[in-house]
Amino acid sequence: MSSFDLSGKVAVVTGANTGIGQGIAVALAEAGADIAAVGRSRAEDTATKVRALGRKCELIDADLSSIAPVEGIVSHVVDSLGSLDILVNNAGIIRREDSLDFTEADWDAVMDTNLKVLFFLCQAAARHMVGWSNQSGRRGKIINIASMLSFQGGIRVPSYTASKSGVAGLTKLLANEWAPRGINVNAIAPGYIATNNTAALQDDEDRNRQILERIPEGRWGDPQDIGGAAVFLSSNAADYVQGHILAVDGGWLAR
């Protein structure tokens, strides 16, 4: 059996309806995992792609702006798919405004979704995972989606930068605590990925040129690029990887 084989695993992916979340969900399914797609928008297209691969896909409606649905998500996944082996915290939001004018409402909205809910989903999933971890080498895998702004400051996105910097730090803390419990906690920091969320940047001729000039790879990333990293971190091949923030950025940070 390949070290990258996820057959028999169940993966929860939040924000899996489009873009990076969909790319991750489909890649995990290609590797053999069944998928629970969680989010406010139903991931029907993702479910079609996953089921076409012969894998199960459970759609779970949940507003991840608060922790209210967290416990129900985990119980729903376990009841419907039999387990929860992999959690990918992909759902996130952003608010843009000069820091002099940034509002408390925009600060709280981003921090709640990107950091608070992420932590409590990690906690709920880990409580399930520690019940069976280290049995016959079985391990839980948690993957948080960080950002280039986990490393850099950016401009006009103070709460987003704070939240993604927090995701990086929290990932390391949880790895420190849960590695002895048989759970791997890591993060992926995507670079510039061609999705609906970045369409305006891609369409802006000057900004698009500036971005491509900075990327050694010379192209925008594809959601499948993030999917491959997620398969690795979800698999037995990454059993000795803990607390790592994996930049998938075409060399952006190296430049």
pLDDT digits (tens, 9 = 90+) for 149-164: 999 999 999 999 999 9
CATH number of 157's domain: 3.40.50.720
With cut-offs at 50, 70 and 90, classify the pLDDT of residue 198. Answer: confident
By residue range, what is the domain housing residue 76? 10-248
Average pLDDT over residues 216-241: 97
Does 190 reside within a domain?
yes
User: How much is the pTM?
Assistant: 0.96
Q: Active site includes 240?
A: no
Polymer length of the chain:
255
Does 3 reside within a domain?
no
Does 180 reside within a domain?
yes
Give the burial class of 50: count Cβ atoms within 10 A of its Cβ; 0-12 exposed, 13-18 middle, 19 or more buried. Answer: buried
Catalytic residue among 119, 160, 192, 232: 160
Question: Are residues 248 and 229 in contact, defined by beta-carbon separation less than 8 angstroms?
Answer: yes
Average pLDDT over residues 65-91: 97
Compute the distance between CA of residue 171 and CA of residue 86 in angstroms, rounded to an integer.
15
Give helix 19-30 / helix 44-52 axis angle, nearest 10°: 20
Does 193 reside within a domain?
yes
**What's the pLDDT score for residue 97?**
97
Average pLDDT over residues 37-53: 97
Compute the distance between CA of residue 143 and CA of residue 168 in angstroms, rounded to an integer.
11
Note the maximum CA span of the chain. 55
Does 110 reside within a domain?
yes
